Structure 1
Amino acid sequence: MLVRRLPDAAVLDFHRLSSHILMDAGELGSRHMTVTWIEVPPGTEQELHSHEEAEQVYIVVRGAAALSAAGDTEELEPGDLALIPPATDHVVANPGTEDLALVSVQSPAVSVEETIGRQSAATVGYDGDDDEY
């Protein structure tokens, strides 16, 4: 059994969102999935994006999420799971007043750094300067 603890995971911060890379493509001997712990502050959302080859599961751990996929929006709360098929435009937003924490699993494995490099986050009033927060 291989274990990676959340405090030991690499973290990629981008425009107030934090992705803790629990298992990236090819890590810990896994060839088929990527797992991240994502923290989203209130009022923050990802840009609309898709993963051409990978399906993605989101599981809400804490807070409230608004997940939009293929033009449909669902409100999610802790314990809820949503499956996003490959090549489906989607976005996760935090409409609540507390931090949102969720787990993301992608299969087949997709490099988290490559994915984040292609997307950014949009925040109401965000001016591109992270020092302003």
Structure 2
Amino acid sequence: MGLIVKQHAPHYQWGDNCDGWHLVKTDALSVIQENMPPGTEETLHFHTNAQQFFFILNGTATFEKNGAYVDVGERQGFYIQPGEHHRIFNKTDHDLEFIVISQPMAHGDRTSVFE
């Protein structure tokens, strides 16, 4: 691997018109750039094995983690440990862009939490 450009990275859609681009995708490490339109959110869930670090590129994210809420702005990060119930919201009127790094890969290691 060498230079990685989002426009050439594998793309997928999730949730309600949210987008993701796999910048790095191995069993041991996942780096994804994601975009969430205004007013979108993900479902509450946890990962048994994966730890995650979210880094906000543009916009403000609202995270729920274990029942507490925190706003995270541009050039700020947020850490999730395995087993922590969490989700991300875009409660703003602008797109939210961020990088999520998972170790090991979080795909296939996700359990929904029913409220």
Q: Same fold, TM exceeding 0.5?
A: yes
1:53 matched to 2:54 = no
Task: Looking at secondary structure, tell me which structure has more strand per residue.
Answer: 2
Contact 1:24-1:110 within 8 A present in 2 as well: no
The alignment's TM-score, normalised by the length of structure 2, stands at 0.88
Distance 1:3 1:95 in 2: 33
Distance 2:35 2:55 in 1: 12
Task: Looking at secondary structure, tell me which structure has more helix per residue.
Answer: 1
1:22 matched to 2:23 = yes
Distance 1:18 1:77 in 2: 19
Distance 2:105 2:97 in 1: 21
The alignment's TM-score, normalised by the length of structure 1, stands at 0.77
- Structure 1 runs not aligned, ≥5 long: 27-31, 120-133
Contact 2:38-2:93 within 8 A present in 1 as well: yes
Q: Aligned to 1:42, what secondary structure does the other structure show?
A: coil
Structure number with greater Rg is 1
Distance 1:53 1:86 in 2: 5
Distance 1:44 1:110 in 2: 20
